[in-house]
């Protein structure tokens, strides 16, 4: 027994020594400022309060985060990563991970992500969208699927039970739309972009059985896409003003300001809608998985190691350490304490007692249920942003009425997709 204790203490001492040695080795090389290009997230802002902690952990390195909104962040990361490579860490997402990975703009994350930080603890869906070509490229800082979020008071007053099917949903949206009383049936995204209007359109397209490509042949130009677009345009008749060229901010803003009866949006909406600090309708909100046959738009955003700015292995290790610390269990716990629902990604946190105390069992159940219908709706290819953005423009034209022929729009996209495939060969 004494021998066994001795052995255990020797192993523990050896582990302590080796971890100290590795920290010392890291301290010798990890002392510069890590530059991060990201989009605004409460979780990242919160990190800035703990700079000293990272400085101590890394042996002297600090970090600076530049923020740009989603579309600008996408453009700037692409421009920076392909040219000067000023940033050590990029905020990337499911839609451009394939592009960044295949172009060599980011380094494989797990090669530099310290094992102690337990990457396997992240939600499996988010791990899936962070993986391309068999390798993991980013550590999630937000992600999830879709939820149908509705105003319980308005539905009750109108005698409507929360819809389970798309037909019921459309009927409810029409009935609840009362512009003269400042209430709109729904709020959609009309703003161009693969991560904007196309993101909200895709659950209809995939839900109706549509597919983007069969091998290298585009197959999206069919009945499913037409039906999806017709349905989306039909719902836009009841969408809040400003959403026709608006994105997430406009749709969510219209709901949380009490002007929308129900909408289907990415899961972080719930956190905002039930928080009295950001929502006028907190306490009146219900949530369910998207009505059948809609699929949820599985997504994940996270931090990746820039390949150009981190020229040597030591710099990559520094960036990896920063990402690991930023997405660690400790920092996620802080986000949970700060009631930052949308910034939670780890299974251990989302199944914790504290999470259940804060958000109640309903939300946990709704998230579990929506996980079953969450899917990868987009074309997992480096050229997806190009194709998605082109469809975004055509879709915006259809929404705002500068184009009326859906088939003509899809044919144009089909021609563009063929050209895109030819260009990549």
Partner 1 sequence: MKQKNSLPAVFLTPAMMILAVLAFVPTVYAIYISLQNRELSRPVGDFVGIANYIDLFSDRRFINAIGVSLTWEAVTVGMTLIVAVGLGILLFECAAPRMRNILALLFLMPVILPRVSAAFVWKFAFHPLYGIATYPYKAITGQPLDLLSNPATALATVALVDVWQWGLFFSVIVLKLLETLPPQPFEAARLDHARTWEIYTHIAIPMLKAPLISLAFVKMIESLRAFDLIYVMTRGGPGITTETLDMYAFSQGFIESGRISYASSMAVLMMIATSIAFTFIWKRVQ
Residue ranges binding partner 1 (CB under 8 A):
71, 74-76, 78-79, 82-83, 99, 102-103, 179-180, 190-192, 240-242, 244-246, 254, 257, 259, 382, 385-386, 389-390, 393, 396-397, 399-403, 423
Q: How far is the CB of 283 from partner 1 (least distance, A)?
A: 22
188 in Cβ contact with 251 (< 8 Å): yes
- Is the CB of 332 or the CB of 389 nearer to partner 1? 389
- Is the CB of 80 or the CB of 332 nearer to partner 1? 80
- Is the CB of 292 or the CB of 393 nearer to partner 1? 393
The dihedral formed by the CA atoms of 250, 253, 259 and 261, expressed in degrees to the nearest 10: 90
CA pseudo-torsion sign 261, 170, 192, 94 = positive
Q: How far is the CB of 60 from partner 1 (least distance, A)?
A: 34
- Is the CB of 253 or the CB of 268 nearer to partner 1? 253
- Is the CB of 61 or the CB of 101 nearer to partner 1? 101
- Is the CB of 166 or the CB of 202 nearer to partner 1? 202
- Is the CB of 117 or the CB of 236 nearer to partner 1? 236
238 in Cβ contact with 179 (< 8 Å): no
Q: How far is the CB of 253 from partner 1 (least distance, A)?
A: 8
Beta bridge partners of 91: 303
- Is the CB of 191 or the CB of 328 nearer to partner 1? 191
Q: How far is the CB of 217 from partner 1 (least distance, A)?
A: 21
Q: How far is the CB of 335 from partner 1 (least distance, A)?
A: 28
Q: How far is the CB of 78 from partner 1 (least distance, A)?
A: 6
Q: CA 148 to CA 203: how far, in whole Å?
A: 12
Tokens at 139, concatenated: 């550590």
Q: How far is the CB of 373 from partner 1 (least distance, A)?
A: 30
- Is the CB of 76 or the CB of 334 nearer to partner 1? 76
- Is the CB of 191 or the CB of 342 nearer to partner 1? 191
Q: How far is the CB of 213 from partner 1 (least distance, A)?
A: 18
Q: How far is the CB of 101 from partner 1 (least distance, A)?
A: 11
Q: How far is the CB of 107 from partner 1 (least distance, A)?
A: 16
- As a three-state string, the secondary structure of the chain is CHHHHHHHHHHHHHHHHHHHHHHHHHHHHCCCEEEEEECCCHHHHHHHHHHHHHHHHHCCCEEEEEECCHHHHHHHHHHHHHCCCCCCEEEEECCCHHHHHHCCCEECHHHCCCHHHCHHHECHHHHHHCEECCEECCEEEEEECEEEEEEHHHHHHCCCCCCCEHHHHHHHHHHHCEHHHCEECECCCCCCCCCCHHHHHHHHHHHCCCCCEECCEECCCCHHHHHHHHHHHHHHCCECCCHHHCCHHHHHHHHHCCCECEEEEECHHHHHHCCCCCCCCCCCEEEECCCECCCEECEEEEEEEECCCCCCHHHHHHHHHHHHHHCCHHHHHHHHHCCCHHHCCEHHHHCCHHHHHHHHHHHHHHHHHHHHHEECCCCCCCCHHHHHHHHHHHHHHHHHCCCCCHHHHHHHHHHHHHHHHHHHC
């Amino acid at each position: 027994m004494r021998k066994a204790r001795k052995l255990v203490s020797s192993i523990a001492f050896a582990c302590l020594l080796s971890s100290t040695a590795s920290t010392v080795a890291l301290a010798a090389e990890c002392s510069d400022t890590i530059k991060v290009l990201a989009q605004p997230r409460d979780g990242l802002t919160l990190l800035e309060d703990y700079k000293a902690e990272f400085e101590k952990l890394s042996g002297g390195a600090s970090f600076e985060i530049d923020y740009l909104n989603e579309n600008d962040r996408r453009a700037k990361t692409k421009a920076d990563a392909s040219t000067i490579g000023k940033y050590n860490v990029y905020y990337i997402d499911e839609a451009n991970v394939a592009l960044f990975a295949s172009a060599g703009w980011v380094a494989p994350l797990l090669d530099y992500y310290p094992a102690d930080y337990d990457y396997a603890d992240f939600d499996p869906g988010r791990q899936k969208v962070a993986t391309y070509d068999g390798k993991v490229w980013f550590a999630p800082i937000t992600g999830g699927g879709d939820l149908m979020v509705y105003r319980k008071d308005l539905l009750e007053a109108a005698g409507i039970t929360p819809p389970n099917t798309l037909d019921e949903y459309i009927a409810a949206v029409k009935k609840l739309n009362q512009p003269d009383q400042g209430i709109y049936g729904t709020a959609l995204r009309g703003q161009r972009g693969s991560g904007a209007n196309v993101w909200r359109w895709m659950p209809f397209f995939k839900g109706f059985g549509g597919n983007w490509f069969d091998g290298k042949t585009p197959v999206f130009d069919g009945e499913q896409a037409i039906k999806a677009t017709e349905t989306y345009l039909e719902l836009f008749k009841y969408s809040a003003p400003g959403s026709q060229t608006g994105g997430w901010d406009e749709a969510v803003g219209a709901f949380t300001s009490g002007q929308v009866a129900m909408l289907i949006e990415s899961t972080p909406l719930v956190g905002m809608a039930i928080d009295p600090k950001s929502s006028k309708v907190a306490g009146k909100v219900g949530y369910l998985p998207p009505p059948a046959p809609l699929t949820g738009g599985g997504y994940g955003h996270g931090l990746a190691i820039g390949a150009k700015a981190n020229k040597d292995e030591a710099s990559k290790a520094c960036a990896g350490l920063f990402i690991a610390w930023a997405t660690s269990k400790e920092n996620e716990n802080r986000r949970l304490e700060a009631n930052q629902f949308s910034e939670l990604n780890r299974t251990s946190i989302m199944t914790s007692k504290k999470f259940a105390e804060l958000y109640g069992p309903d939300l946990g159940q709704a998230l579990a249920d929506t996980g079953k219908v969450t899917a990868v709706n987009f074309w997992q290819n480096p050229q997806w942003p190009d194709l998605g953005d082109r469809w975004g423009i055509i879709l915006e034209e259809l929404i705002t009425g500068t184009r009326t022929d859906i088939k003509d729009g899809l044919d144009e996209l089909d021609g563009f997709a063929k050209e895109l495939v030819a260009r990549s060969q």
